[in-house]
Amino acid sequence: MKKKHLAMILSKLKGFKNPKFGLEQYKTPGNVAAELLWLAYSLDEIEDRVIADLGAGTGVLSVGACLLGAKKVYAVEKDEEALKIAEENVKSLKLEECVELIHADVGSFPQRVDAVIMNPPFGSQNPKADRPFLLKAFEISDVVYSIHLAKPEVRKFIEAFVRDNGFEITHRINIDFEIPAQFFFHKKRLERIRVDIYRFERTSL
């Protein structure tokens, strides 16, 4: 499968029916998800690996990881409505044996995994909302892929936070993230923001 083909499949998956703005629920765009997953795949960190998708939402990253040959993906999501949509997306591609849907807060997930993939809240509505996701990811894996806003202050925070938790940034890819108007404060039909896709790796094993 080529990256472009993967992006097309992921872009056709169902998104949130009633997105909750307090949870910053935005479907991960197909091209962004494919970019993250392709990086992990190219570094041999997807195929035949056990993966955790923290804050899985409607399951875009989980589905993509399975399509690239993941052995197992734990899709952890606390919003039951989102998890039901994720289940529909998983079933639509007959990936039930690969994805285990887990209705829980990410903080309670105990399983060690080969890699974490995630698109955590950006913290636009609730400052520091991404920190519990990063802390859990650093706890359960030595390799983490994550998406964050490409703003100077966010980059500065990420660099310090990662270093303070015994990790380093090995890759950072800058890409457009398109958000269709879905909340009252959206002024355009399609918002386009810049995000960074990161790969973090533990430095002190």
Edge-to-edge strands, sheet with 50-54: 99-103, 72-77, 50-54, 115-118, 143-149, 190-202, 167-180
Per-residue pLDDT of 41-75, as tens digits, reads 999 999 999 999 999 999 999 999 999 999 999 99
pLDDT at 187 over 70: no
Q: Residue 20: inside a domain, yes or no?
A: no
Provide the residue range defining the domain that includes 138: 3-9+29-202
Is 18 contained in some domain? no
| Nearby residues of 72 by Cβ (< 8 Å), 6 or more positions away | 50, 51, 98, 100
Distance CA 64, CA 85 (A): 15
Amino acid 28: pLDDT: 82
Are the C-beta atoms of 109 and 52 separated by less than 8 Å? Answer: yes
Is 17 a member of any domain?
Answer: no
The answer as to whether 15 is a domain residue is no
CATH code where residue 177 lies: 3.40.50.150
Please tell me whether the overall predicted TM-score, pTM, comes out greater than 0.75 for this model: yes
pLDDT tens figures, 130-168:
899 999 999 999 999 999 999 999 999 999 999 999 999
Rounded CA separation 58/85 (Å): 5
Element (H, E) at 8: helix 3-11
